[in-house]
Structure 1
Amino acid sequence: METLETLSDALRTAKDIQSIVRTMKTLSAVSIHQYEQAEEALGDYAHTIDLGLTALLQQRRALGMAPPELNGGQSGARALIVIGSDRGLCGQYNEVISRRAIEAMSETDPVLGVLGVRAAARLEAAGHTPDKILGVPGSVDGFDATVQSVIITIDQWQETDRVQRVDLLHNCRKAHNTAQPVMRQVLPIPPEYLARRTGATWPARGLPFFRMDHDALMSWLIRERLFVMLYRALAEALASEHATRLAAMQNAARNLEERQDDLNTAFRQKRQETITRELLDLVAGYETAQSER
């Protein structure tokens, strides 16, 4: 049976939780803006990489050189990199990306790398043990180190496991959907992309001049393009994670408000019952004392 003391404690707890929820909502909103800015800031560099590939491919064509031979990924081992989260309270974020990863691995058994221990635990529980688990950076400052770790891991896979194709799977925000899985092929470069770069219009009167070996320059541009794709994917995934967490906290805030209303109603009723009972006890005591006199 609830008493005034238990109801009062429940109200204080609800207020404390409401304060925590309010703080998490604010942090998520700020983080979303931070990661969106990071993705936009990389746009100019990504455009520079595209221009570099355009210049190189068109220069090769002008010199009568054959297009670069890039493995199409139809043979050899494949790798899948999944971006999840290290922290909870983000709704169905990890469940959504884990289900999509399991679907992607239903026909093949790729080398599996996972960013985020929560997504890794779900995949392992489903029978897909990750070959590599990395942490998710807590802020934009950790992006460079994380991306470099992923690139080093991919290099190791290419040497030891003969990996020829690498796919990247992560959540992103689209319309009202806060966590929608997106899969991209990061290696090798798709032939359609190379064809677009070869046929693109150069923005100046003439192509730039360079002395670097064509193959070495192509390798460097591909590596920088990989860096850009991984960096942007991290920004999109973390923005999606915080958007999902923000939505979860908004639902929690509404539930807490309803809970507080119920507790306040119950507290007022219980207090009125207590006051009425005490008044009745006083009246009964007074009447007893009068009858004795």
Structure 2
Amino acid sequence: MQTLETLKRKIASTQELQTVAKTMKALAAANIRQYEQAANALQHYRQTLAMAIQILRINYPDTLTHLRPRAHPRLGIVIFGSDQGMCGRFNEQLSEMVIQHLEQHSSQGGQPLLLGMGARICDSIIDQGYAIERYLSVPASVDGITSKAQTIVVQLEQWRNQCQVDQIWVFHNQPIRGHTSTPHRQQLFPLESDRDRSSSWSTRCRPMVFLSRERLFSAIFRQHFFVALYQACAESLASENASRLTSMQLAQTNIAEHLMELQAAFQQQRQTKITEELLDIVSGFEALNQSH
């Protein structure tokens, strides 16, 4: 049977753990909001970028034709995970989708090139026998997303120009209602076929272009990469915090139940101790009376 001192220590440590879970829950809730706002802020710019791609198609209709991947394309894959734990199956469910995608394309093209953001997702992919070409740490705040996205854009350009990568996919968790997330994948390059069909201009006035085809193409696609990667990173961070919030809510419930059990055991043990002391006093008093 546990002593009163042992139970006191366990109750104190459990209360500290409860405070930690409550603090992490509050931080996760606050972070979700700022990352969701960062992702939503790109909506108008994405619309402008879509118009720029239409302008490129209208003025240089053959520019995107040669960007179709080969029959057996070489893949470049960007994966957004987490560096920290306590977020449920956030990394596991995304890793399963990535591995499934890699297995489906295992017989196509050369060795896929993988860029992973987050130590835990990278470890999960490596455990399945795939190499991570480049690893990046997860930004600690919204302010850090821009530099990370720019770094990835430069890396993707190197892959396209130096490694003959002609198909690029992005994998990340996407937040959904109820503080949960779901794995999501997006073909970043070349543009998906459904976008290719939406190339009609909304007015009779055709846009004028004063840049060369090469400069316009480079500028548009750098922005296309950046916006898509920025949004994917922001949504991944929002999803991570949503998963952590759910985990902390569950942990808080379990901790509260365990604390109640410890406190009940403490009260029972304390009552037993008091009863034993009272019996000792009564026994001593009776023995004293009998001696007289």
TM-score after normalising by structure 1 = 0.92
Distance 2:217 2:169 in 1: 20
Q: Does 1:261 align with 2:257?
A: no
Task: Work out whether residues 70 and 189 of structure 1, in 8 Å CA contact, stay in contact via their aligned partners in 2.
Answer: no
Q: Tell me the equivalent position of 2:21.
A: 21
After superposition, residues 87-106 of structure 1 pair within 5 angstroms as 87-106=84-103
Q: Does 1:82 align with 2:79?
A: yes
- Per-residue CA deviations over 1:158-200 (Å, capped at 9, x if unaligned) read 233211111111111234472311111101122331321x124
Q: Tell me the equivalent position of 2:118.
A: 116
Letter matched to residue 168 of structure 2? V
Distance 2:21 2:273 in 1: 33
Q: Does 1:71 align with 2:67?
A: yes
After superposition, residues 133-144 of structure 1 pair within 5 angstroms as 133-144=135-146
Q: 1:145 aligns with which of 144, 147, 160?
A: 147
What is the root-mean-square deviation of aligned Cα atoms in Å? 1.7
Distance 2:247 2:62 in 1: 54
| 3-state SS of paired residue (2:169) | strand
Percent identity between matched residues is 33
| 3-state SS of paired residue (1:169) | strand
Task: Work out whether residues 76 and 169 of structure 2, in 8 Å CA contact, stay in contact via their aligned partners in 1.
Answer: yes
Q: Post-superposition shift, 1:67?
A: 5.4
Task: Work out whether residues 91 and 121 of structure 2, in 8 Å CA contact, stay in contact via their aligned partners in 1.
Answer: yes
Distance 2:291 2:256 in 1: 52
Q: Tell me the equivalent position of 1:42.
A: 42
Distance 2:211 2:162 in 1: 29
Deviates more, 1:246-255 or 1:5-14: 5-14
Q: Which runs of 5+ in 2 are unaligned?
A: none
After superposition, residues 116-265 of structure 1 pair within 5 angstroms as 116-176=118-178, 178-196=180-198, 198-202=199-203, 206-265=205-264
Q: Post-superposition shift, 1:82?
A: 1.1
Q: Post-superposition shift, 1:279?
A: 0.2
Q: Post-superposition shift, 1:56?
A: 3.3
Distance 2:22 2:177 in 1: 24
Closer/same/farther in 2, CA of residues 200 and 18 from structure 1, 3 Å limit: farther
Task: Work out whether residues 116 and 134 of structure 2, in 8 Å CA contact, stay in contact via their aligned partners in 1.
Answer: yes
Closer/same/farther in 2, CA of residues 286 and 206 from structure 1, 3 Å limit: same
Q: Which runs of 5+ in 1 are unaligned?
A: none
Distance 2:133 2:201 in 1: 39
Closer/same/farther in 2, CA of residues 97 and 177 from structure 1, 3 Å limit: farther
Q: Does 1:272 align with 2:268?
A: no
Task: Work out whether residues 29 and 243 of structure 1, in 8 Å CA contact, stay in contact via their aligned partners in 2.
Answer: yes
Task: Work out whether residues 179 and 245 of structure 2, in 8 Å CA contact, stay in contact via their aligned partners in 1.
Answer: no
Letter matched to residue 87 of structure 2? C
Deviates more, 1:23-32 or 1:121-130: 121-130
- Per-residue CA deviations over 1:22-77 (Å, capped at 9, x if unaligned) read 100010001000001001111121111112222333344xxxx5453342223441
Task: Work out whether residues 59 and 209 of structure 2, in 8 Å CA contact, stay in contact via their aligned partners in 1.
Answer: no
Q: Does 1:12 align with 2:9?
A: no
Closer/same/farther in 2, CA of residues 77 and 231 from structure 1, 3 Å limit: same
- Count of aligned pairs between the two proteins: 286
